Structure 1
Amino acid sequence: MRSFIAIDTGQQVQMMIESVVEKLKRMGFRASWVPGGNSHLTISFLDSVELQRLELLATMLSKRLRGFPTFTLETGKLGYFKHKELPKVVWIGIERNQTLSNLHREVRSVLESMSFPVEDNFRPHLTVGRMKFSPPLWHKFLETIETEKIVFQVNEVSVFESILSREGAKYRKVFTCSFEGGLIKHDFQG
């Protein structure tokens, strides 16, 4: 099961991402766009993991995060990762937040204890699209897009499955670990 650990961003952020995607399309950008309903803040990629191991990971995460404080995050500016002087991924940033860094450290600790590979560089962002074509003057176009500052609450993390298809990736929650304690196993056919 291709999977990752992430924070669900909520409906207001989803609608803002859909608005940014529409603006980019009108400017001539072509990409594998992230549907607003798929918006999430990735804490860690897991790659392919068997369901039983994923359930053990979710159980350990749930125990480790019990009592973690609820906190808020705020969306930031539009940004991008470049490859060969063109934007490869366009994203919306997340304002720096010490509690998010602490959460990442807790998740990383559980992953390391289970011998999962962990990424060294945590750059919190919300992916808008993976670029296939960028128009001339793309840099200037991106500078004109303003993003709404949205504050959203974080009181859980989820383990998602990533399902690849011709229409793009679809994400489905498999487990949710509430900071108040408790593990939710989501129903699915699999």
Structure 2
Amino acid sequence: MRTFIAIDTGQKISSIVDTVVERLKRMGFKASWVVGNNAHLTLAFLNEVDREKVELVASMLSKRLRGFPTFTFSTGKLGFFRHKNLPRVIWIGVKPSVVLNNLFRETRVALESLGFNVEENFHAHITVGRMKFSPPYWKKLIETVELEEVIVPVNEISLFKSELSPEGARYTKLFSCSFEGGLIKHDF
């Protein structure tokens, strides 16, 4: 199954993502939009992983992250990844956080010990949409979208399954790894 490891960003971010998507649509942007309930901060994309290995990954992460401190991160401005002078992905930024970077590093170490290749460059963000069309003056339009700063509490990470369809991606939480110790297996 297609899997990734992420922080569930909660209901407040979910609402903001839905609001931003509606605003960008009205401005003329076309994209594969993220549904607010699917909003998350990805730590690592694992690609296709068989069911047994998914359980091994969850177990390893749970052990590695036991005792990791609960923390918060704050959202920032709307931003984008560019490709050939057009936005490829539009996202909600995340303000720099030493603890969030440490969480990424610990996650990467656990995954690499199981043979996964994880990108070394970590750019914390919450994806809003993968662009298909951008209107003229797209950069100025993006700059007009002001976001409320949200403080997101983090006390666990989760392993998700991603299923792609013409209606968009559907994410299912498979496991949650609590920093206080403990692995929760969700029905899948």
3-state SS, counterpart of residue 58 of structure 1: helix
Whole-Å separation in 2 of the counterparts to 1:36 and 1:26: 17
Render the CA deviation track for 1:41-91: whole Å, top value 9, x for unaligned. 000000000010110110010011111100001111000011111111000
User: 3-state DSSP class of the match of 1:141?
Assistant: helix
The answer for the alignment partner of 2:163 in structure 1 is 163
Give the match for residue 78 of structure 2: 78
SS at match of 2:32: strand
Moved over 4 A (4+): none
Name the CA distance, whole Å, in 1 between partners of 2:3 and 2:95.
25
Instruction: Please give the root-mean-square deviation of Cα atoms over the aligned residues, in Å.
Output: 0.6
Give TM-score, length-normalised by structure 1. Answer: 0.98
Question: In the TM superposition, what are the counterparts of 1:38-53 in structure 2 within 5 Å?
Answer: 38-53=38-53
The alignment covers a number of residue pairs equal to 188
Task: In structure 1, give the amino acid aligned to 2:16.
Answer: M
TM-score (norm 2): 0.99
Task: Please name the residue that 2:111 is paired with.
Answer: 111
Distance 2:120 2:72 in 1: 24
Percent identical residues:
63
2: CA distance, partners of 1:111 / 1:88: 27
Give the distance between the partners of 2:132 and 2:118, measured in 1 at CA: 28
Residue of structure 1 in register with 2:131 after alignment = 131
Deviation at 1:177, TM superposition (A): 0.2
Alignment of 1:12-23 (within 5 A): 12-23=12-23
Q: How far did residue 139 of structure 1 move?
A: 1.0
